[in-house]
Amino acid sequence: MALRFFNTYSREIEEFELRNPTARPVRLYTCGPTVYSRAHIGNFRAYIFEDLLQRQLELRGYKVHRVMNITDVEDKTIRGAREAGVPLQTFTEQFKAAFFEDAHTLRIKRADEYPAATDQRYLDRMIEMISGLISKGLAYQADDKSVYFRINKFPDYGKLAHFDLTQLQSTGRVKHDEYDKEHIGDFALWKAWDEADGDVKWNSPWGLGRPGWHIECSAMSTALLGDQVDIHCGGVDNIFPHHEAEIAQSEGVTGKKFVRYWLHCAHLLVDGQKMAKSLGNFYTVPDILAKDYTGRELRYALLRVHYRVPLNFTWEGMNEARESLARIDEWLARLRKVAEKANAEPARNASHSDAGGRPTANTQRPATAFEDALDDDLNISAALGFLFESIRETNRAMDQNEMDEASAHAWLEWWKRINTVLDLEAETDVAIPHEVAQLAEERENVRREKNWKRSDELRDRISALGWQVRDTKDGSKLTRGAGTE
């Protein structure tokens, strides 16, 4: 069965038409973070959905060329830098680093490219595109010296969002600084410099200024992926105006269909409410780690609900994630024990398939239900349902000594395959180097003696070897990667 996705453009489930995985890489563009503050867990829900999409494509044999942009110049980054009294780049650099750190914590695969909007190569491309739009009559410079897209000249404007332009006209408020636009819905391609921009300015045929947010994505995607993108993702809040504007700009310049499949991830709620700093329910990845949860647990909690369904984040949900992962860990440990019984007695009643052709505990044929569920518009809840059903069945078989060594091996192989998509295995199952383990043990000992100085020295030595030690209620835990504290 072919892969199928819900396309926001058509509002229908469509088959993925690139049927031959070896024909060429899938061109995937995902709108990345705006680096004016630390990304919140709602942002990461979308990035985890995109990670799942990439991994499922790869499981199915596709090569994926993924681009994720970094928005390092727009209104919020400029305001933030001004308020902090530092240059724009100094201001954005810290949040860029934080984004990569959090993505690593959540085991999100790295994109092939992370273009930044302030890179001269892309600024040149933005200017080139804006010039092209002006020469086609699709853009104009207004009296305020800014350049705007003329949406009345692009009949498809509003099709992605299923948005009626006349509505925009009748309900739109005319802000005083927008008086010189021809249409209230015309959006800025190039914003003329004003005092509030400070040092943030580039030369252009229209005078000093900076790009609008939307043109950044059109420029970076066409520069790196060509005129046409196979799959473009983002959160539902990106649909309008951001993605609508991307279509207008890109298609306005190239005359070709910009994106084949538009996939959008639903909102994340916290305790049933929209996340907001004022409500005290605004969480970043470090906020969750500070409550003694791991990146793996948060990954599971953000992954387990279908991407088109709003996800309600709760601490109870985090505990459920922890329990689910513990079940997987225990199951794997049991399977490994059975698989390692080199000269074990043959299991009783070993059978390899049931009447319905569904995999049984002892089947050696890898089960495909998990992968099939993900082919169906990334139906992760069905896929996980199948995983836990398999865990129940195989545990029962192991309880009754009905699992032979070969079957245990087959299940472990199956897990290895589906875990390329899930990436949920416990860190400790990644072999801890002997030296690191020894240092950690020594550290445990000196901590019992309350020798904190020596404990800190050992932590630094462990960290220098690329491992992080975290002290929790259940003792210290080792994880790969740099520390977040």
The candidate with the shortest Cα–Cα distance to 407, out of 356, 373, 367, 369, is 367
Nearer to Zn ion, 52 or 219 (CB): 219
Surface-to-core class of residue 281, CB atoms within 10 Å of its CB (0-12 exposed, 13-18 middle, 19+ buried): middle
Q: Does 288 bind Zn ion (CB under 5 A)?
A: no
Distance in angstroms (rounded) separating the CA atoms of residues 114 and 71: 10
* DSSP letters for 161-219: TT--HHHHHHH----GGGTT-SSTT--EEEEEP-GGGTT--B--TT-SEEE-HHHHHHH
Per-residue x/- track, 164-203, Zn ion (CB under 5 A): ----------------------------------------
Structural contact between residues 395 and 334, judged by C-beta atoms closer than 8 angstroms: yes
Q: Does 35 bind Zn ion (CB under 5 A)?
A: no
Nearer to Zn ion, 7 or 71 (CB): 71
Q: How far is the CB of 218 from Zn ion (least distance, A)?
A: 8
Interface stretch with Zn ion, choices 25-33, 108-116, 120-128, 171-179 (CB under 5 A): 25-33
Nearer to Zn ion, 115 or 359 (CB): 115
Q: Does 259 bind Zn ion (CB under 5 A)?
A: no
Q: How far is the CB of 140 from Zn ion (least distance, A)?
A: 23
Q: Does 421 bind Zn ion (CB under 5 A)?
A: no
The candidate with the shortest Cα–Cα distance to 318, out of 293, 289, 344, 353, is 293
Q: Does 31 bind Zn ion (CB under 5 A)?
A: yes
Nearer to Zn ion, 233 or 289 (CB): 233
Q: Does 217 bind Zn ion (CB under 5 A)?
A: yes
Structural contact between residues 362 and 407, judged by C-beta atoms closer than 8 angstroms: yes
Nearer to Zn ion, 31 or 378 (CB): 31
Interface stretch with Zn ion, choices 217-225, 286-294, 454-462, 464-472 (CB under 5 A): 217-225
Q: Does 225 bind Zn ion (CB under 5 A)?
A: no
Q: How far is the CB of 151 from Zn ion (least distance, A)?
A: 18
Distance in angstroms (rounded) separating the CA atoms of residues 426 and 296: 8
Q: How far is the CB of 107 from Zn ion (least distance, A)?
A: 23
Return the amino acid letter for 353: S
Q: How far is the CB of 71 from Zn ion (least distance, A)?
A: 7
Q: How far is the CB of 262 from Zn ion (least distance, A)?
A: 12
Provide the terminal-to-terminal Cα distance of the chain, rounded to the nearest Å.
46
- Residues paired with residue 70 on neighbouring β-strands, in sequence order: 116
Supply the angle between the helices 315-340 and 295-303 in degrees, to the nearest 10: 110
Interface stretch with Zn ion, choices 198-206, 214-222, 334-342, 434-442 (CB under 5 A): 214-222
* Binding residues with Zn ion: total (CB under 5 A): 2
> What tokens appear for 89 in the block?
């780049």
Distance in angstroms (rounded) separating the CA atoms of residues 470 and 71: 33
Interface ranges with Zn ion (CB under 5 A): 31, 217
